[in-house]
């Protein structure tokens, strides 16, 4: 069969540049490519790096999408279906809202695609694609293969040194997709030996672990860190805010090459945290957690969310001061967004507070609901201003890490990626994104 796997172009928020679109390829499509027998003619098309030039008939088109790329996915599906091509949609949004995705496609894959892919291909080959494929049970992740990197041009992306070690998260916060009904209530880790082999095959000394929560199973992680210790890696990951309660594990993370952690602090107001059932976060522990991380030479990327029902317009100045005082190296801010299918969306829908149903606006940079204690304009303006103030020259200097070893990667991100990212990211248009990544790694960590 002739098969095309498509990733629609991402939407950009006001502070985003082309770095976002060219950061990493779709890992899910690379995994499906690895599961596809070589007897098929398979092509991966990522609109973030190249346009779709051919909508002629194929035997199957698979499209992965999120809520804010669904409108584009729907257009792509319509073009292919017009030529007689069957289209199946999968990914976070189709899994959360299969009834909506089903109106724009011939079939929808809900949940993990790996256990279903062989059946999907067999049905497509027979011309009998089912309307819905649902992954109802996964006991382990041994069926997840290593991504098929040679299915794409790696030079188009900033990072192709990415590895996924798990699926899911042990927590189900109300605003997160992990609170959706379709999400299995389990957290699974891949086999240690298979994951280590994948790292070795990347032929790099720097790795980005792109899990929802890298520390979700500490027993597994301890074994994994022991296994990668001889590899002499520099690595980065996303962890939950309770990492501060796991200091022996944090020690081992430092010893095995951890250099930065993305942490979902979300709010410095405990009432806001409690309001979305984020039980693992304790605001009173935040500063000690940051101090413990910094004392081990590890940088912090803080995820902050604004617009909780307990937030007033004062939250922006208070949060900015807290971030600067704690020398938080980088910050990713979001407007609270009720993704369809989540517990938050269900609650706000019942309260009649959803004000914008344009799905392309659900990218955490638009106010799509009625806030409780501030106006929509106050929320949007505060969100835009905290980005401007946090990455101002003055505050970049004030947040400089105390350890000089972190100065160059710190400045590279704050200046090259955020403040002047619109300029530096233009290199991606000339196919130099991977070269830019290698230069950044060499300058920051002395590795290629």
Q: What is the pLDDT of residues 116-145, one digit of tens each?
A: 999 999 999 999 999 999 987 777 788 899
| Last residue in a domain, options 366, 390, 414 | 390
Q: Does a structural domain hold residue 415?
A: no
75-104 mean pLDDT = 97
Q: Does a structural domain hold residue 21?
A: yes
Asked if 283 and 273 touch (Cβ cutoff 8 Å), the reply is yes
64 and 184 belong to one structural domain: no
For residue 88, pLDDT over 80 is answered with: yes
DSSP per residue over 46-92, as a string? Answer: ETTTS-----S--SEEEEE--GGGHHHHHHHHHHHHHTT--EEEESH
Tokens representing residue 296 in the block: 């081990």
Report the C-alpha gap between 365 and 12 in whole angstroms.
9
CA-angle at 140, arms to 137 and 144, nearest 5°: 100
Q: Does a structural domain hold residue 189?
A: yes
56 and 94 belong to one structural domain: yes
Q: Does a structural domain hold residue 408?
A: no
Number of structural domains (the chain) is 2
pLDDT value for 447: 63
204 and 292 belong to one structural domain: yes
Q: Does a structural domain hold residue 102?
A: yes
175 and 104 belong to one structural domain: no
pTM score, whole prediction: 0.93
302 and 214 belong to one structural domain: yes
Asked if 93 and 64 touch (Cβ cutoff 8 Å), the reply is no
**Model confidence at 376, in pLDDT bands (50, 70, 90)?**
very high
Tokens representing residue 234 in the block: 């520099």
56 and 92 belong to one structural domain: yes
**Model confidence at 185, in pLDDT bands (50, 70, 90)?**
low
Q: Which domain holds residue 94?
A: 2-134
pLDDT value for 38: 96
95: CATH: 3.40.50
Q: Does a structural domain hold residue 47?
A: yes
281: CATH: 3.20.20.70
Q: Does a structural domain hold residue 86?
A: yes
113 and 166 belong to one structural domain: no
85 and 188 belong to one structural domain: no
49 and 93 belong to one structural domain: yes
């Amino acid at each position: 069969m002739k098969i095309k796997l498509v990733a629609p172009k991402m939407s950009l928020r006001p502070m985003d540049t082309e770095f976002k679109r060219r950061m990493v390829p779709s890992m899910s499509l690379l995994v499906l490519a690895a599961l596809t027998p070589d007897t098929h003619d398979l092509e991966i098309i990522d609109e973030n790096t190249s346009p779709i030039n051919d909508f002629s008939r194929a035997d199957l088109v698979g499209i992965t999408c999120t809520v804010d790329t669904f409108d584009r996915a729907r257009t792509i599906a319509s073009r292919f279906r017009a030529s007689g091509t069957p289209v199946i949609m999968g990914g976070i949004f189709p899994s959360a809202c299969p009834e909506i995705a089903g109106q724009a496609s011939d079939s929808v894959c809900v949940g993990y695609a790996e256990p279903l892919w062989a059946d999907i291909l067999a049905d497509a080959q027979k011309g009998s694609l089912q309307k819905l494929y649902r992954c109802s049970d996964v006991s382990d992740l041994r069926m997840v293969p290593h991504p098929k990197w040679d299915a794409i041009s790696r030079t188009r992306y900033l990072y192709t040194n990415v590895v996924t070690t798990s699926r899911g998260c042990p927590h189900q916060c109300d605003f997160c997709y992990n609170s959706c009904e379709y999400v299995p209530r389990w957290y699974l880790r891949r086999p240690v030996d298979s994951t280590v082999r994948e790292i070795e095959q990347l032929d790099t000394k720097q790795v980005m672990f792109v899990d929802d929560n890298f520390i979700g199973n500490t027993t597994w992680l301890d074994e994994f860190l022991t296994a990668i210790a001889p590899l002499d890696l520099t690595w980065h990951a996303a962890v939950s805010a309770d990492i501060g309660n796991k200091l022996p594990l944090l020690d081992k993370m430092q010893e095995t090459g951890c250099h930065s952690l993305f942490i979902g602090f979300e709010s410095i107001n405990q009432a806001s945290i409690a309001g979305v059932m984020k039980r693992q976060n304790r605001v009173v522990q935040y500063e000690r957690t940051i101090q413990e991380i910094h004392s081990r030479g590890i940088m912090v990327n803080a995820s902050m969310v604004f617009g909780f029902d307990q937030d007033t317009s004062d939250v922006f100045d208070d949060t900015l001061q807290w971030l600067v005082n704690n020398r938080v190296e980088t910050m990713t801010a979001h407007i609270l967004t009720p993704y369809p299918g989540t517990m938050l969306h269900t609650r706000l829908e019942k309260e009649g507070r959803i004000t914008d149903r344009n799905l392309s606006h659900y990218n955490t940079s638009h106010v799509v609901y009625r806030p409780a204690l501030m106006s929509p304009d106050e929320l949007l303006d505060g969100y835009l201003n905290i980005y401007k103030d946090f990455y101002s020259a003055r505050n970049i200097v004030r947040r400089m890490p105390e350890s000089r070893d972190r100065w160059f990667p710190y400045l590279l991100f704050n200046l090259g990626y955020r403040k002047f990212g619109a300029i530096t990211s233009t290199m991606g248009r000339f196919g130099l994104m991977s070269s830019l990544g290698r230069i950044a790694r060499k300058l920051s960590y002395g590795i290629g």
